[in-house]
Amino acid sequence: MKRKILLLLTSIWLISSILIIQITYSKYLTTLSSSGTIGIAYWNIVVNEQDINNNLDITNTIELNIPETDYYTNDVMVPNAVGYFDLNIDATNVLVDFKYTITVNFPSDNDVTDLKIIGYDEYDNHNNITYFSNSSVNLERNVLAQTNSVIRVYVKWIDDDGETLSDYSQVLNDVDDTMASVNSGTAKINANIRFEQLQ
């Protein structure tokens, strides 16, 4: 009987010890779960009234404007005409500063081979034109959050006999230009805009 009592007391002591140890260690092993919310900066850039999040191709929004002169009507490209197109970058709904890189050029298979980008302006008044002699534009600028930028790119149909454009590998070609006019050819412009958040 002593043995049974001793076995019973030992069992009670062992169970109590395990419970005490478990309770003691559970204080240090307790886990807590929680959740919260973090605001994410809004990134909604609009180019020429097209949201770039929903539409990565703005081909139909670039319009070449050619002011009328005594020699030709408006919006018609002819030799020696100067026109422009605007890229309106609306970042009023962007909450982070970013950088844009704009590349504009003419494809090699253009019907009119004597088109040249002669300059650009990136301000609303368009009185500060930067002129250059290469065949493409490559602009890179930092933009503050919640601002607008208007970049105006100027294009000219060069028509000087025998002139070689300094940065072109081609000689101006009046025959190709004439054929483009006779065949109702088109002039294409490639514009690529890349946006990148500043760190």
- Domain-embedded: residue 168: yes
182 φ/ψ angles, rounded to the nearest 5 degrees: -65, -40
- Domain-embedded: residue 158: yes
pLDDT computed for residue 170 by the predictor = 44
- Domain-embedded: residue 1: no
6 φ/ψ angles, rounded to the nearest 5 degrees: -65, -40
- The total domain count for the chain is 1
Q: Which two tokens stand for residue 113?
A: 């081979």
Task: Give the CATH number of the domain where residue 63 resides.
Answer: 2.60.40
- Domain-embedded: residue 26: no
- Domain-embedded: residue 68: yes
pLDDT computed for residue 103 by the predictor = 87
Q: Is the pLDDT of residue 172 over 60?
A: no
- Domain-embedded: residue 19: no
- Domain-embedded: residue 138: yes
Q: For the whole model, what pTM was predicted? A: 0.68
DSSP 8-state symbol, 179: H
Q: What is the mean pLDDT of the chain?
A: 76
pLDDT computed for residue 24 by the predictor = 56
Strand, coil or helix: 19: helix
Sign of the torsion formed by the C-alpha atoms of 66, 68, 72 and 74 = positive
Q: Which two tokens stand for residue 140?
A: 């890179």
User: pLDDT tens across 112-140, in order?
Assistant: 777 888 888 887 666 778 877 666 778 88
- Domain span including residue 134: 43-197
- Domain-embedded: residue 8: no
**Residue 101 near residue 138, CB atoms below 8 Å:** yes
End-to-end CA distance of the chain: 81
